[in-house]
Amino acid sequence: MTELLAAPAAIPAPAGKLIEEFFGRASTGDATISVARMVAPPGWSEPGQRPSFEELTVVLEGSLVVEHREGRFVVAAGQACRARPEEWVRYSSPTGAHYVAICLPAFSPAAARRDDESAELGGSHASVDADADAGAGASASSTPDASSTPDELVPPST
């Protein structure tokens, strides 16, 4: 049956980020997919994660910095990125962003498998920060990597 979803479910999030889930566990009880509109304020970042779901992200306004094992790139308005299951990734937005995230299967905090604070502050992913800061590893797409990105779009290392 075709349905109208009149309003998304607001999901509590730290650091001033707004999450509005249209489809997913919190809004419709659907575990197969989640679709959420995100508003990240300038300076926002989240811990790295190695999710068990695939995440497709479409940036509508602003930009996101996406760090991954091979380096980092900037996703600008009108662009998108894909993070495959089990791949380490960290998102931030020095300038702020409005974007849509689609997760298959649906997002859950347990499935996100976020880094603990000790890992983010120099533990298991410290080498990712060092490699990205050195400009190592270019993106497989035509999206600019850190070496071609203005300094104001690249988040500071932790």
* Residue 88 dihedral angles phi and psi, to the nearest 5°: -75, 135
pLDDT at 140 over 50: no
User: Which domains are assigned to the chain?
Assistant: 17-109 (2.60.120.10)
Task: Give the C-alpha separation, 47 to 51, whole Å.
Answer: 12
- Average pLDDT over all residues of the chain: 80
% of the chain beyond a pLDDT of 70 = 73
pTM: 0.74
Task: Give the C-alpha separation, 8 to 38, whole Å.
Answer: 11
% of the chain beyond a pLDDT of 90 = 70
pLDDT at 98 over 90: yes
Dihedral sign (CA 102, 52, 112, 125): negative
